[in-house]
Structure 1
Amino acid sequence: MPDTAPRPIRAAVLLGLAAQALFTLRLATPHKLMFDEVHYVPAARVLLKLSGPVNIEHPLLAKELIALGITIFGDNSFGWRILSTFAGTATVLGIFAILWMLFGRTRTAVMGALFVLLNITVFIQARIAMLDGFMAAFVVTGIAALLWAMRSTPGKAWQRWLLGSVLLGLGVACKWVAAPYIAYAGIAFLAIRLRDARARNRSVYAALNPGDQIFWPGMPAIHALLALGVVSIAAYCLTFLPAFFYAVQPMTVHGFVRFQREMYAAQTEILPPHTYQSGWRTWPLMIRPIWYLYEPVDGAVRGVLMIGNPAILWGGLIAVAACLLAWVREGSMKLLAVVLLWAGSWAMWALIPKSIGFFYYYYLPSIFLALPLAAAFDRFGTGKYRHWEEGFLILAFGLFVYFYPIISAVALNDPQDFRYWMWFPTWP
């Protein structure tokens, strides 16, 4: 790789510190529950007391982490949200790691991480006690760990593969929507092995065996896929251990299986229409953002609008098209990979049996848009286009600052001030 190891480490440390500082600034405001915190903070309080089952439509891990924050920092708005900030920082660093391992350039990795940091969806989910931020952190870092295993020595490849499997299992233990990424990882592993075998005029049998492999050396394919499945499932199951100690309706082994069915039934029930609902096809265009908060609180009118940075969400779609075109012309699997990760994250919502959808379901795909953005600038940002990357970053930063008052619960002067940021009639 063109960069030496210390350079990306220094860059990652600086990015991590910047992200953590940004996410933690004024974290306690508002000092009341907002949006889905009304479900998950009370559930975390119940978990702390091990009183009994509550909020049964989701697994336990993210609520356990919220409860951990309450235990350490107190049952207050800071305690509810503080561990979400660490999840947000882990997400930023996970994207940095993915890009570093794909392209081997510190600049590309830094740019992608900055795009995540300035993408308003990440900022908001890092400052609220919801499940999605934790789920995304485990998925992104899990993918990074599997890529870390890809170019390792045989012994380390297994260790890192198992780490990635655990992280993906923990993502599912936060929210079931992480489950497809385990399947995606297995498919990608097989596809890369088979492509490499074909390029080297080797048989399918050779692709499945551990000997003389360029990627994931020392790992037989069947064993690797079994480990991915078994370890991720085991990690998922272990997060339910506190439920076996409930004072009321403690979980049993048989009850654990029944509880999964109950979660599925709760996830797929028909819900009444909602003011902020939107279809999955509309999410990339950001047609219907969501108010997480807009009301008088802490002595002033304050708002938190779940919206994306227009430069990143809309510019990211152009980057997807550019990467796809470059793949067609050049056959670069790296460019195809970043496109497929975003596309798979979004398109799976066409199959998930939810009766209604919301823009915040686009959270993971919005994160993965940073990958084709960074990849497109890496591929095309030369010659007369060499300064476009800096210009785009300045635009993204400017839009982040522009929206900051209504994504961070800053005190507004008038209840109608929100109209200043409403660009379209469908924006609330």
Structure 2
Amino acid sequence: MHEIQPYEWTHPPLGKWLLTFGIRLFDMTPYGWRFMAAVCGTLMVPVFYAAARAMFRSTRYAFIAALLLVLEGFHLVHSRMANVDIFGVTFTILMYTFMYKYGEKKWESGGFGRSFGYLALSGIFFGCASAVKWNYMYGGAGLAVLLFLALYRRWRESRWEYGSAYFKKLTLTLLSCLILFVAVPAGIYAASYIPYEKATKADDGLKDLPRYQKDIYNYHKGVKEKHPYSSKWYTWPEMLRPVWYYGGKDLAKGDAQSIAAIGNPLVWWGGLAAMLLSWWLGARNRDKIVLTIAVMYLSFYVPWMVSPRSITFLYHYFPMVPLLILSIVWMLRWLEQRWYYGRTFTALVIAGAAVLFVWFYPVLTGMTISREWMNFGIRWLPSWGF
């Protein structure tokens, strides 16, 4: 549309292509750049509600999950800027939701045929997530684990209900997965480069896709320059180094203005505690929700422990934030089922999240506040540099 030579090639193009729809509507303006991220960030709330509803089978707990997402600062910051991670995280929520629904779909009474719809949707959104950034591709390992766990449950059921027919269905499922989780995502990934190739002045085509991927890998492997707001993977759960995106200029003496990618402390720190405790409690009963959250979390987190990229940032932890919320909701449900004051505790947790959201709102949105309050009231840790 603007005939501008593409210059950013360090990630696949789908997220950047999605941002262009806002530019088409509102031209090359700050509002146009950010519009689609805001749309996706807004849509993430009902998507996450549906995901929690599918897992907990409760409108109440789904509402609590969606409300905690609304009160989560990291989600708000990335919904208000031209950043592609908001797309990738939304796609990962969808791909895991449909895989979870597939695992819950039994094969009797026509369920086998209908279950392929969930597999297809999971594969499609896996392809979309992969075409935003490579790190969302890590979730594919978790999808594979959840798939095989679902097939194992179907095998246990088949001993009583399906007999040898199970192996025919298993073969058909695995062959279908080669298409749905290999061919389809690869096709989506390749198609995401079509707008890029049309815009570039170079005589490139799909034949050049392997070279693009080699260039991306070499770039990320070769990033060695130090960055003041980079952080190592083992510091992310503690939120030790938020990324500072914006600092105000020409402010009156004593004023401060910042935008930082910082999460809600109750969600991040409380969510980490809830997740670890839920793993211990859920393991005893082989709880499927806890198992799903654990598989998802580890599939996104563990690869960063061995990644060749040496400069990383807190926003790489973004896919794990919805999982922290789901862990909180699981623990709240567990307490409510066993403790007379469980619902009161749930109300206190939500109120605490709301208070902290308002508390940190100035540094989430760039409001002008006093430097004294920024340093004393909002910078809780010395490593929070904003």
Q: Give the TM-score normalised by the residue count of structure 2.
A: 0.89
Q: Report the counterpart of residue 279 of structure 2 in structure 1.
A: 324
Q: CA deviation at 1:417?
A: 4.2
- Determine helix, strand or coil for the equivalent of 1:174: coil
Q: Which residue of 2 aligns with 1:418?
A: 374
C-alpha change, 1:157 and 1:65, in structure 2 (3 Å) is same
Query: 1:251: how far off?
Result: 2.1
Aligned pair 1:133/2:91, yes or no?
no
Indicate conservation of the 8 Å contact 1:158/1:219, yes or no.
no
Does 2:52 match 1:96?
no
Asked whether the equivalents of residues 87 and 133 of structure 1 are also in contact (C-alpha less than 8 Å), the reply is yes
**270-279 or 388-397, which moves further after superposition?**
270-279
Deviations 1:218-248 (A, max 9, x none): 9623323432221111111111111332351
- % identity of equivalent residues: 24
Cα 1:244–1:306 change in 2 (3 A) is closer
Give distance in 2, aligned partners of 1:80 and 1:408.
17
Look up the match of 2:108.
none
Which residue of 171, 174, 188 corresponds with 1:235?
188
Residue 369 of structure 1: how far off its partner (Å): 0.8
**Deviation beyond 6 Å, 4+ runs, structure 1:** 202-205, 297-300
Q: In the comparison of the two structures, how many residue pairs are matched?
A: 374
Superimposed CA distance per residue, residues 317-341 of structure 1 (whole angstroms, 9 cap, x where no aligned partner): 1211221122232222222222332
For 1:96 and 1:400, locate their aligned partners in 2 and report how far apart those are by CA, in whole Å.
19
- Cα distance change on mapping 1:308 and 1:297 into 2, 3 Å: farther
Aligned mates of 1:248, 1:156 — CA distance in 2: 46
User: Any idea what the Cα deviations from partners look like across 1:245-302, whole Å, max 9, x if unmatched?
Assistant: 2351142232122111111111211321111121101110111112111122799852
Distance, in Å, in 2 between the alignment partners of 1:400 and 1:119 is 7
C-alpha change, 1:403 and 1:198, in structure 2 (3 Å) is same
Gapped runs of 5+ residues in structure 1? 1-47, 212-217
Q: Which residue is 2:155 aligned to?
A: 197
Q: Return 103-112 or 238-247, whichever deviates more.
A: 238-247
In structure 2, give the amino acid aligned to 1:408.
T
Are the equivalent residues in 1 in contact too, given 2:139–2:296 (CA < 8 A)? no
In 2, the alpha carbon distance for the partners of 1:394 and 1:241 equals: 47
Counterpart of 1:282 in structure 2 is 235
CA positional deviation for 1:54: 1.3
Tell me if the contact between 1:157 and 1:219 (Cα under 8 Å) persists in the aligned partners: no
Following superposition, the deviation at residue 49 of structure 1 comes to 3.3
Q: 2:290 aligns with which of 291, 314, 335?
A: 335
1:374 paired with 2:329, answer yes
Task: Supply the AA of the counterpart residue of 2:381.
Answer: F
2:143 to 182, 185, 190: 185
- Alpha-carbon separation, structure 1, partners of 2:46 and 2:3: 34
**In the alignment, which of 381, 406, 428 is matched to residue 363 of structure 2?**
406
Determine if contact 2:297/2:323 at 8 Å carries over to the other structure.
yes
Q: Which residue, out of 220, 226, 234, partners 1:273? A: 226
Deviation at 1:365, TM superposition (A): 0.9
- Taking a change above 3 Å as real, the CA distance of residues 231 and 72 of structure 1, as seen in their structure-2 partners, is same
Cα offset, 1:123, TM superposition? 0.7
Aligned to 1:83: 36
Q: Which residue of 2 aligns with 1:388?
A: 345
Measured after TM superposition, the shift of residue 117 of structure 1 is 1.5
What secondary structure, in the 3-state scheme, does the structure 2 residue paired with 1:407 have? helix
Larger RCO (alpha carbons 8 Å, 6+ apart): 2
Report the CA distance between 1:159 and its aligned residue: 2.8
* 1:380-422 alpha-carbon deviations (Å, 9 max, x no partner): 223332321111010001000000111111123x445421311
Partner deviation per Cα, 1:94-142 (whole Å, 9 max, x = no partner) = 3222221122111111111112221111111111101211111111122
TM-score scaled by length of structure 1: 0.81
Match for 2:346: what amino acid?
Answer: E
Tell me if the contact between 2:278 and 2:290 (Cα under 8 Å) persists in the aligned partners.
yes
Deviates more, 1:202-211 or 1:127-136: 202-211
Q: Is the contact between residue 52 and residue 250 of structure 1 (CA under 8 Å) also seen in structure 2?
A: no
| Aligned residue in 2 for 1:25 | none
- In structure 1, how many angstroms separate the alpha carbons of the residues matched to 2:132 and 2:177? 24
RMSD between superposed Cα atoms in Å? 2.4
